[in-house]
Amino acid sequence: MWLTNSSIGKKVIMSVTGIALILFLTFHACMNAVALISPEGYNVVCSALGANWYALVATAGLGVLVVLHFVYAILLTLQNRKARGANRYAVVDKPAKVEWASQNMLVLGFIVVVGMLLHLSNFWFNMMFAELANSGYAYVGSSIHANDGAALIAYTFKCPVYSIIYLVWFVAIWFHITHGFWSAFQTLGLNNKVWFNRWKTIGNVWATIVMLLFAAVVIVFCIKGLTCSAAGCCAL
């Protein structure tokens, strides 16, 4: 089957899964931004996306997308290394027009995956998994309910170390998306001399807005946590 055996087929799978994951990140960023406006409203969203059958199906589908994207990234990298043979060890000048992100997509991908695992342990494990385990409460904090996403955000990002780690993670995602966005459309044939620069611009703007939304949540709750701790008013 050409989708799994050919180089272009693998790139198509990478492109389609990548676009789907970008759309998910966009939804996730908009959802998180609700916490800045109304913690109660954010908790309503968390309750709607808790351990319900449709949320579980979506989570499983998302997991499949991530695995496919990561596995095919490794397969393509190994295939390219094999095609270059011994020449891959030769010292050559890097092309001036090749972006840094393009040269380091696999490394950025590993950083993104490590950050994702940390994120899952901080939030998915304490929310959806806690509900599935019938505990009703997160495994951190004193009495955070599994549906109280706003309290869990506040608890997590009151720690400056976690906040910095997340911000670094967002930077890695930004680099990964800005290259992957236009590259995906190029692979799918939705590209020409006119649209090449347009896709790059759209990708840069899109990734910047999404990552700024994520970063805003981290920064705002980190500042609130530090201010609250200094005033001795935090109970979590």
Render pLDDT for 74-93 as a digit per residue (tens, 0 to 9): 888 888 777 766 554 444 44
pLDDT digits (tens, 9 = 90+) for 15-41: 999 999 999 999 999 999 999 999 999
Q: Count of domains in the chain?
A: 1
Asked, for residue 202, whether it belongs to a domain, the answer is: yes
Asked, for residue 93, whether it belongs to a domain, the answer is: no
Confidence band for 221, pLDDT divided at 50, 70 and 90: very high
The CATH number assigned to the domain holding 134 equals 1.20.1300.10
Asked, for residue 156, whether it belongs to a domain, the answer is: yes
Helical (H) or strand (E) element with 191: none
| Token pair in block for residue 73 | 């990234």
Q: Report pLDDT for 76.
A: 87
Q: Report pLDDT for 146.
A: 84
Q: Report pLDDT for 79.
A: 84
Q: Report pLDDT for 138.
A: 81
> Of 91-100, 107-116, 151-160, 205-214, which range is least confident?
91-100
Q: Report pLDDT for 85.
A: 61
- In the block, tokens 């998306």 appear at 177
Compute φ and ψ for 137, nearest 5 degrees.
Answer: -130, 150
Confidence band for 229, pLDDT divided at 50, 70 and 90: low
Q: Report pLDDT for 90.
A: 46
> Of 48-52, 96-100, 125-129, which range is least confident?
96-100
Asked, for residue 139, whether it belongs to a domain, the answer is: yes
Asked, for residue 62, whether it belongs to a domain, the answer is: yes
Determine the Cα–Cα distance for residues 56 and 209; give it in Å rounded to an integer: 28
Q: Report pLDDT for 142.
A: 61
Residues in the chain: 236
- Domain residues for the domain of 20 are 2-88+99-231
Mean pLDDT of the chain: 85
Confidence band for 174, pLDDT divided at 50, 70 and 90: very high
Asked, for residue 94, whether it belongs to a domain, the answer is: no
Section 99-125 average pLDDT = 85
The secondary structure of the chain in percent helix, strand, coil, rounded to multiples of 5, reads 80, 0, 20
The answer, yes or no, to whether residue 117 has pLDDT greater than 80, is yes
Section 121-142 average pLDDT = 81
Section 188-202 average pLDDT = 87
Section 92-114 average pLDDT = 71
Q: Count CA atoms closer than 13 A to 228's CA, side-chain side.
A: 15
Asked, for residue 148, whether it belongs to a domain, the answer is: yes
